[in-house]
Amino acid sequence: MVRVAGHRDDQGQLALLGQAIRNRRKGAGLSQEALADAAEIDRSHMGKIERGERNVSVLNILKIAAALNCPASAIFIDAGM
């Protein structure tokens, strides 16, 4: 189900997205630091993304997907979006 920005469940959606990224990262056998380095994202920011604490930009999702060697759409599908 797609949510509209400003919906009360935005944090839940961010948590699902972060969990999907974490699951893909672990499946790829990467540490959080290795993924952050490959995606050229600060390691602490990557941690906040995975915990659903940051509203990650589309550009960063594309970087993360490239580092995970998967299409960005797969991350959204994994998150149930």
CATH of the domain at 59: 1.10.260.40
d(CA 51, CA 30): 17
3-state SS, residue 44 = helix
pLDDT at 10: 82
Q: How confident is the model at residue 5 (pLDDT cuts 50, 70, 90)?
A: low
Question: Could you give the residue ranges of the DSSP H alpha helices within the chain?
Answer: 10-27, 32-39, 43-50, 58-68, 72-78
Q: Are 32 and 38 in contact (CB under 8 A)?
A: no
Residue 55 lies in a domain: yes
Residue 47 lies in a domain: yes
- The yes-or-no verdict on residue 1 having pLDDT over 70 is no
For 22-45, what is the mean pLDDT?
Answer: 97
Q: How confident is the model at residue 62 (pLDDT cuts 50, 70, 90)?
A: very high
Q: Which domain holds residue 47?
A: 10-78
State pTM to two decimals.
Answer: 0.87
| Count of structural domains, the chain | 1
